[in-house]
Amino acid sequence: MASVKVVQQVERGVVFRLGKVQPQFRAPGLTLIFPTIDRMTKVNMQTVAMGVPAQEGISQDNVSVRVDAVVYFRVIDPVKAIVNVQNYNWAISQVAQTSLRSVIGQADMQQLLSERETINAELQRIMDQATEAPWGIKIQRVEIKDVSLPEGMKRSMARQAEAERERRARIITADGEFQASKRLAAAAEVMAQDPASLQLRLLQTVVEVAAEKNSTLVMPFPVELLRFFDRAAGGDQTPREGNPRTNLAEHIAKAEEELAKADEASSIASADDVPPVPGLEPRKDKMGITPPAEDSGTPKQDTGQWGGSSYGD
């Protein structure tokens, strides 16, 4: 009965005969040994998940980090795992810790946070090179579980992310204002071709102002404002000397083209990649209208009069 042994499905039996290991291990099932001269050691062939204690180190960019990981391995040669190394579980734990510290020193903080697949592959290559051939143990997978940063570094990264979002918001707002100004310029070109449209828009504005119940404006102010803009719209419509009036369709087409260019350049990558505002030129008169000369309709700073008529406080 002492010569009969049972090897489980997940195990392999390594037999030592008179202290010498047998080259062939025993397969799962019922097996026989010599009780007095043979000694059999069973080796588990299942995949083992081993946690690596957290290791502290300094990254390549001089940032103090704390990293922990988990290692998945299995025995592929039970004879080597028993003969060539004593307590292979403890040996693999030590190899994992030293390899983890080595990788921490060779990578910077950004790689540890965003390129974990590359770090895991490098850890697996280093450990597998040290364990597969001499010990008969295959490293199947290495995973970094957590990367702990100092509190000061966390606050600095939060401020950097907030500043980046603020920069993007400002650029998007400026781009929206630029496109709106182009639309307004095109609308002004349309109104400049027909003074009646400007008068209709002015009447609409006066109606909107008068509809406000909480408005503190008295009636003479909208009326005088209407007269002032009426004289401005009905002024000299002749083009300036040497600057003939351009076609309305050309103005609108040019404005649409600049808006299309602004839409194409609206993507934001970084502060250095922000393109210059397209179509930004020195201010010049596109309407071709001579501004009205100063007259009695100009507001007076001291008397509070507008065109000779008084208005409320």
167 — pLDDT class (breaks 50, 70, 90)? very high
Q: Which residues on adjacent β-strands are paired with residue 52?
A: 69
76 — pLDDT class (breaks 50, 70, 90)? very high
Between these two residues, 179 and 209, which has the higher pLDDT value?
179
Q: Which amino acid is at 140?
A: Q
> pLDDT value at position 239?
47
Least confident of 4-13, 124-133, 190-199: 190-199
Instruction: Note the Cα 29 to chain centre separation in Å.
Output: 57
> pLDDT value at position 286?
46
Q: Which of 92, 81, 91 is nearest to 42 (CA)?
A: 81
Least confident of 27-41, 98-112, 197-211: 197-211
Q: Which of 143, 157, 63 is nearest to 108 (CA)?
A: 63
The SS3 of residue 45 is coil
Mean pLDDT score of the chain, rounded to an integer?
A: 76
Mean pLDDT of 198-210: 75
* Torsions phi, psi for 70 (to 5 deg): -135, 140
Separation CA 150–CA 64 (nearest Å) = 7
Whether the CB-CB separation of 139 and 96 falls below 8 Å is answered with no
Separation CA 71–CA 96 (nearest Å) = 8
163 — pLDDT class (breaks 50, 70, 90)? very high
Whether the CB-CB separation of 5 and 31 falls below 8 Å is answered with yes
Separation CA 293–CA 55 (nearest Å) = 80
Least confident of 95-99, 180-184, 268-272: 268-272
Mean pLDDT of 48-73: 90
> pLDDT value at position 287?
45
> pLDDT value at position 233?
54
Q: What is the dihedral of CA 9, 15, 21, 27, to 10 degrees?
A: -30
Whether the CB-CB separation of 181 and 258 falls below 8 Å is answered with no
Q: What is the dihedral of CA 93, 99, 102, 108, to 10 degrees?
A: -100
